[in-house]
A and B are shown apart, each in its own frame.
Chain A
Amino acid sequence: MGNRTLIPFGPQHPVLPEPIHIDLVVEDEKVVEAVPSIGFIHRGLEKLVEKKDFIEYVYVAERICGICSFIHGQTYCQGIEEIMKIPVPPRAHYLRTIWGELSRIHSHLLWAGLMADAFGFESLFMHSWRVRERVLDLIEATTGGRVIFGSCKVGGARRDITPEQMHWLLGELAEIEKEMRLVVDIFLNDNSVKHRLCGVGVISKDDAVALGAVGPTLRGSGVADDMRLLKYAAFGDLEFQPITRSDGDSYSRCAVRCSELFQSVDLIRQAAVRIPAGEIAVKVTGAPDGEVFSRVEQPRGEVVYYIKGNGAKNLVRFRARTPTFANVPALVKMLAGCELADVPVLVLTIDPCISCTER
């Protein structure tokens, strides 16, 4: 038995886009125990419901996370609409689905770049983000924003996608899909990538369920759990099956995300064909009175919002449980027993989004 050493990992570390601190107890080159601590970028966004009325809070909800911004706004709006029993027009549901899936594609490509950077494949990082830029262009043309979409509101959507725009969007998506295939091919087949990912950070199906993992972390361990099966927005009309992998290692989680890129493209195509004509929003009157749990699948996994109103313009309580928060126990389990050099890769495999987690 070697000497035990405590190595602090983060909050400032080249591989981390956002601050999380992990105390690594290391024996020789093996991690024996990992103790995470968060709280570096807490902004008190949940408390802001007392200052902003329930309509304005959509702007705050969207800013909980800079990557899955649209889906945060969508989750919030769906919750309020459920409390107030607002009949959202079907076209708005489809628009939300399309933007949600575009958001998933750009988030997974961002993750792919960061992951490549974590295992030292700089040129793959550049190419992943090059493809992502094209997706951001689609988002900017249809919503007006590149990262903060700002197109979801209580009662429907703020903007419509015209038939010409939809035609252009599908044409661009076909080209983006081709480029994504080239990038994904490297992630899934290159030997040096496989060497860093295969068999690293294995988490069994039972452990993943017991530790409450969500999203690709859970699906990479063979559990077909995806909130899109709840058929929110337009998912009830679209053909969809969750993508799973059974190995539970870093490669499986990577493969799940890579396959989800193409699944999202397929979902957008289905939605573009089936989108009905009509209104995109309804007028909202009154204020929310009641409580609701709103669950939506983000690129990182399931997000749960608890919203409680008492009939006033300001909500009484708002709580967000974000996917990274749910995946931290699984990460701690993965880190115990791994090599010290694999720590950056393992931290990245759960696709950490710390600003989400701390709100």
Chain B
Amino acid sequence: MAFFQMTKMILGWTFRTPVTTSYPFTPRKICPGSRGRLDITIATCIFCSLCAKRCPTDALAVDKTNKKWHINRLRCISCGYCVELCPKKCLELTGDHGIPTVTKDRETF
């Protein structure tokens, strides 16, 4: 018969610091290699629009005539498919997960 099986664990944790952090005051530690925000080096982009054509969520749009690259951050799922396809390798997923937004604006590069 085992009563109070949990007591040992609870006593062990009584004097330790909490595992939880007070986010957003303490930022989350992000593992290297985490798939976060999509970033573009616009200087090397050739506006081939391959990324926009293949994006599973239609988050990207490329304006070939005006040489503009648009991203809807709220639609992007950070899957990395565009990064794989990009012929000039100007796209990358950074570890940064971005800041919360309150509007649905597109970002333009």
Contact = CB atoms under 8 A, between A and B. Distances in A.
Interface in B13-50: 19, 31-35
Given A56-B54, A123-B10, A150 B35 contact: yes
A191 B81 contact: no
Q: Is the interface of A mostly helix, strand, loop or mixed?
A: helix
Nearest to B33: A144
B5 interface: yes
Nearest to B9: A182
B56 interface: yes
Q: Is the interface of B mostly helix, strand, loop or mixed?
A: loop
Contacts of A142: 33
Contact of B56 (A52, A127, A133, A148): A52
A285 B6 CA distance: 56
Interface residues of B, number: 22
A121 B4 CA distance: 12
Contact of B79 (A59, A124, A186, A192): A59
A167 interface: no
A249 B54 CA distance: 49
Contact of A185 (B5, B79, B81): B5
A59 B81 contact: yes
Interface in A304-344: none
B31 A137 contact: yes
Interface string B59-89: 0000000000000000001111100100000
Interface in A134-163: 137, 140-142, 144-145, 148, 150, 158-159
A351 B3 CA distance: 26
Interface residues of A, number: 29
B99 interface: no
B56 A144 contact: no
A130 B6 contact: no
B81 A190 contact: no
A186 B6 contact: yes
B31 A191 contact: no
A327 to B, nearest CB: 29
A189 interface: yes
A251 to B, nearest CB: 14
Nearest to B20: A130
Contacts of A123: 6, 10
Contacts of A133: 19
B102 interface: no
Contact of A150 (B1, B6, B10, B80): B80
A182 B32 CA distance: 30
Given A150-B80, A191-B3, A140 B31 contact: yes
B38 to A, nearest CB: 12
A150 B31 CA distance: 16
A158 B56 CA distance: 16
A66 to B, nearest CB: 13
Given A59-B77, A150-B80, A182-B9, 13 more contacts: A59-B56, A123-B6, A140-B34, A142-B33, A150-B79, A159-B33, A183-B9, A185-B5, A186-B5, A186-B9, A189-B5, A191-B1, A191-B3
7 contacts: A141-B34, A145-B35, A148-B77, A158-B84, A190-B3, A191-B1, A191-B2
Interface of A: 52, 56, 59-60, 121, 123-124, 127, 130, 133, 137, 140-142, 144-145, 148, 150, 158-159, 182-183, 185-186, 189-193
Of all A-B residue pairs in the complex, the 9 with the closest CB atoms, nearest first, are A144-B35, A190-B5, A141-B31, A140-B31, A189-B2, A59-B56, A186-B5, A56-B56, A191-B3
